[in-house]
Amino acid sequence: MSDPWTISGRRVLISTPTYDWEIQDGRVNEGPVALQHDGQTFIIYSASACWGPNYKLGMLTYNGGDPLSRDSWIKSPEPVFQTANGVYGPAHNGFFKSPDGKEDWIVYHANDSKLGGCDVKRTTRIQEFTWNSDGTPDFGEPLPLDTDIVVPSGEGR
């Protein structure tokens, strides 16, 4: 990129929908977000299309080499975050650290109905996540809307 908003190099394709769970409501791999932890790099992406209840998150893991080559990434065979607990289509995500740097948080969109889609009824949600022993992220399950969560550590309480 020639600046933060201008693509100047060649475009490359490192992921396309290949698993059944990526094509339930549409053939979609979109919204890639980089996530780094303990020297590992992941790309978390949305799959299966926001206009249906099966929107979810997939993960690519960088395994070395040219990051612009498809061969440098391993796609997880299962989604890493998906519909559960009355939360439908949790995807289109981002990440942040708590103000004191001690916690990792995911921010994402989701619906509280399987009839929801990419409309104004979709809400933005956050929740803390942890890390598995192999260094991969563990997003757990989406929390129901009525779940009280403690604010990120380091926030004024």
Tally the C-alpha atoms within 13 A of residue 101's C-alpha that lie toward its C-beta: 1
Whether residue 94 lies inside any domain: the answer is yes
Q: How far apart are CA 14 and CA 26, in angstroms?
A: 18
Domain range for 67: 20-138
- What was the pLDDT predicted at 157? 61
Asked whether residue 109 is domain-assigned, the answer is yes
Task: Give the predicted TM-score (pTM) of the model.
Answer: 0.93
Cα–Cα distance, 34 to 45 (Å, whole number): 9
* 1-19 residue pLDDT tens: 899 889 888 889 999 999 9
Asked if 59 and 74 touch (Cβ cutoff 8 Å), the reply is no
C-alpha 3/C-alpha 8 separation (Å) is 9
Confirm whether 149 is domain-assigned: no
Question: For the chain, how many structural domains are there in total?
Answer: 1
Largest CA distance in the chain: 47
Q: Which residue has the tokens 């990526």?
A: 22
**CATH number of the domain within which 128 lies:** 2.115.10.20
76 lies in some domain: yes
Tell me how far apart the alpha carbons of residues 47 and 12 are, in angstroms, rounded to a whole number. 18
* 15 within some domain: no
Q: pLDDT of 54-78, one tens digit each? A: 999 999 999 999 999 999 999 999 9
Is residue 13 in some structural domain? no
Whether residue 9 is contained in a domain is answered as: no
In a domain, 4, yes or no: no
Task: Tell me the per-residue pLDDT of 78-92, one tens digit each, with 9 for 90 and over.
Answer: 999 999 999 999 999
Q: Are 108 and 81 in contact (CB under 8 A)?
A: yes
